[in-house]
Chain A
Amino acid sequence: MTDQVETVGELKRIIAETLGAGRISSMSVTPYLDHADEPAYSIAVSMTAEKDIPDARRQSELTRKLRETLTRLGNPRFPYLYFVGLDEDDSPDDVDEFEPWPEDSERS
């Protein structure tokens, strides 16, 4: 558990150092098993401004840094990065798409 706390702290330190701590509003690092049942971290980074979200190349560089760090620490998890901008338009791009069909739950 201590290892995990220290690892998450190290990942957050690298992200802050790479992207600039002042540009980051918050971060969450959640351990889970990915779609292939392989150990992973889902890392959500909220940037203060959408313009500071790194482009594809910088995201790849950051992923490589995080993966190399995890390998060095003997941690097999893969770091999946997701970015949101706090100033992004928060209106949904659609309504909820998974409303249950009432007839599906009708009793026979």
Chain B
Amino acid sequence: MATLPNDMLTTAELLASVKPPLGSAALRRSVSTAYYALFSRLAALCAGRIARAKASSDSFKSVYRAIDHGPARNALLGHAEFGSPLGDSFKRLQEARHWADYSIDPHPDAEIAAAGRRFKRSEAQRFVALAREAIGFVDALAPDAKQRLAVLLVARPRR
């Protein structure tokens, strides 16, 4: 049971419910936290399947930190088994998280932003739901599929 990702999802939901005047900043933190909940779930899966040691061990921590954002995205997207829905959701959440953390535009979509519309609470809630769906997908995988996913995320392709 990986509790940290689930707690992060709960935190993301909580942030999506924060009212003005802190609402806008909280919605950004909600989206970012939703992405990191999924990322943390994948990291925990890798560590659990590959290190096969207690979470407090150095080997668990080393594998937990082995997964990188860009390579993980690319590995998932091109994969027949995990490209959809997991890879698609990971990429969508990563893009939204990048907007939330780094952009000063009022919305991740340029057309919506240009129309003067801001990122809404309901949109943050939908990204949190997307992360929850993706984590549920990972949780429901059979053990051998979890093993394949962990290796996919950690192994580097030979050049």
Contacts and interface: CB of A to CB of B under 8 A. Distances in A.
A94 B89 contact: no
A67 B90 CA distance: 14
Interface stretch (A7-15, A17-25, A27-35): A27-35
Interface string B12-24: 0000000011111
A53 to B, nearest CB: 7
Nearest to A62: B88
Contacts of A57: 85, 133
A89 B24 CA distance: 15
A59 B120 CA distance: 17
A42 B123 CA distance: 15
A94 B108 contact: no
A83 B112 CA distance: 10
Interface string B89-117: 10110110011001010111111100001
17 contacts: A35-B95, A40-B95, A42-B110, A55-B126, A56-B130, A56-B132, A60-B84, A80-B92, A81-B92, A84-B117, A88-B120, A88-B122, A93-B20, A93-B119, A94-B21, A94-B24, A97-B24
